[in-house]
Amino acid sequence: MESRPLWPRPHRLQVPRLALRRHLSVLSGSVSRPTPWRRRPIAFLCYVLSVSTLRPLAKRVALYRSFPTRLLSRAWGRLNGVELPTWLRKPIYSLYIWTFGVNMQEAAVEDLHHYRNLGEFFRRRLKPAVRPLCASSCLISPADGKILHFGQVKNSEVEQVKGVTYSLENFLGPQKRRGNESSSSFRDLLLTSPDNDLFHVVVYLAPGDYHCFHSPTDWRVELRRHFPGSLMSVNPGVARLVKELFCLNERVALTGQWQHGFFSLTAVGATNVGSIRVYFDQELQTNAPRYSKGSFQDRSYVAVDDQVVKAAGEGGVACVEGEGVVLEKGAAVGEFNLGSTIVLLFEAPKDFSFNLQPGQRIRVGEGLGSL
């Protein structure tokens, strides 16, 4: 005779894991796949904040854009500057290292007790030998990070991530006309030769990456343009949802010339990255409490009346020689206070080719492309 329990077995709680995974896949814009163990809490938090089951997409984006990200970033900046007791430094930094996969063996100072606050730890320097420069490539990566997008600029529109574009003119602002005066295309106005084309590459710096950015080639910076703006996250998942995110966020655009014509490097700020520092420009102040929407401030590095001004740079030679700030390939240019994005826009011969794959990891000094 079959024995039966005196009370019914309790049913197991059925957690809709597949549904949750589908929601996370929609949020990230990619095929569903198991989340790395180190990032599961972050992925779940992103799902909760998205409120995808409660609000339409447009309302979620509008709600996110209404967050006081500039105020939060300034508060985070002050927190980063608070000196930590010596006994507390190793536990806090170890938690950060564990969460974001930081490689401290590359750091110039591996002793965690050396870093007095979070800001110093974020901006840690690397050992000189760990980032060799690619001698065979005319263009190297300016930062450690992930390649979000690259290619030719078409119709004056640039992709921030696959399928989501932003206006080149809104991103750089009005420019000195270098090319065909009769052309109605903003892209063509930047080109100095009809035999050249305009290219771009986007490098995303995650919180665990090295936070300094370097000169990707030998070039001359003529203008610094600072756009105050929002400080929304530039995570690829958010970049897929917010059109023209790079044009809305605070950014510092350095524009000038290299051997093939127009060249620009733009540091795009993000949440908790209100502080963008350029080593040779001590006047630059980012994430101010107040600003006029759509405004920008320019500083020309081209000397007036043949005046020659020396500008001290960190990690490389940078001096104003009448026609701008001269930067050598690999020279340290500036730093973020956490992770963010670098956008390169440059003129080159039409046979220029990238040696990249979308989504690949890259480090400072590695080649981007060749002629």
**Pairwise CA distance, residues 158 & 149, whole Å:** 9
Contact 156, 197 (CB under 8 A): no
The DSSP call for residue 2 is -
Other C-beta atoms lying within 10 Å of the C-beta of residue 292: 7
**Pairwise CA distance, residues 178 & 324, whole Å:** 17
Q: Tell me the residue ranges of DSSP E strands in the chain.
A: 139-140, 145-152, 157-161, 164-167, 196-204, 212-214, 219-227, 251-258, 261-268, 276-278, 297-300, 318-320, 325-327, 332-336, 341-349, 353-354, 361-362, 367-370
Contact 127, 105 (CB under 8 A): no
Q: Does 183 participate in catalysis according to the annotation?
A: no
Catalytic choice (149, 200, 211, 214):
214
Scanning the structure block, which residue is given the tokens 């929407």? 293
**Pairwise CA distance, residues 65 & 60, whole Å:** 9
Scanning the structure block, which residue is given the tokens 């009448």? 322
Burial of 58 from C-beta contacts in 10 A (0-12 / 13-18 / 19+): exposed
**Pairwise CA distance, residues 295 & 284, whole Å:** 15
Catalytic choice (28, 50, 73, 144):
144
Beta bridge partners of 362: 145
Q: Does 144 participate in catalysis according to the annotation?
A: yes
Q: How many CA atoms lie within 13 A of 28 on its CB side?
A: 18
User: Cα dist. 346→53, 151, 175, 336 in Å?
Assistant: 42, 11, 14, 22
Residues labelled as active-site residues: 144, 214, 340
